[in-house]
Amino acid sequence: MGYKREFIDFMLEAGVLSFGDFITKSGRKSPYFINTGNYKKGSHALKLGRFYAECIMENIRSGKIPEDISVLFGPAYKGIPLSVATTIVFANDYGKDLNYCFNRKEVKDHGEGGSMVGYKLSDGDKLLIIEDVITAGTAVRECIPILKAAADVEICGLVVSVDRMEKGKGSLSAKQELYEEFGIPTFSIVNIVEILEILKDTLDDNIKKRMEDYMENYCVL
């Protein structure tokens, strides 16, 4: 689990992954929390870009992501720096000069106008959506019509740092729902099962038990 372990250590060092008592947006009482707002340094952005690029390259090599991906789309707001950082790493480390673009929360009615910033999407473009964490898949559902309105693009996947593996609107996980509804696969640097497996020898027994109970109740394993 090479780079996965490194990524978990990175989240802990940056204060992004923490354990305790938290209430999630869905109202669930969670024993862990992922606050990607704690990434705030240039070194954090560089490392994030490298982890995302490594995840993408791993899935390109395995044939799960097409090799001719040309665009990374970052949903506003957290996806914006992630998509930019990842394209920088691809250009610098892999010699692959990808395009990036992102959406505005509000449509601009002056200047160049529109809701998109960066690369102008074209019919036939193959793109990846770059996000921080998948919990319910809401952000992806919101940006699909935006992307399809811009051009006839092929959305080849969603790439996230952490898959919480939680149930969506029904018995399926948010990841499974996105694939069932839109045919979009999700790729994560790590998921909650991998986090627990890697940290099992360092976590307090009480936290481990609460993590296991939470996952049994709310996750699709």
Contact 159, 55 (CB under 8 A): yes
108 catalytic, yes or no?
Answer: yes
Tokens matching residue 108? 């601009």
Any bridge partners for residue 74, and if so which? Answer: 102
- Rounded CA-CA distance 65/154 in Å is 12
Hey, what amino acid is at 102?
Answer: F
- Can you tell me whether residue 203 is helix, strand or coil? coil
- Rounded CA-CA distance 18/12 in Å is 7
Q: Taking Cα atoms as reference points, which of 98, 148, 105 lies closest to residue 123?
A: 148
Tokens matching residue 111? 């200047």
Tokens matching residue 82? 């992630």
110 catalytic, yes or no?
Answer: yes
DSSP 183: -
Q: How far is CA 53 from CA 3, 26, 82, 95, 186, in A?
A: 11, 30, 10, 12, 15
Which one of the listed residues 41, 108, 148, 169 is annotated catalytic?
108
Active-site residue numbers? 108, 110
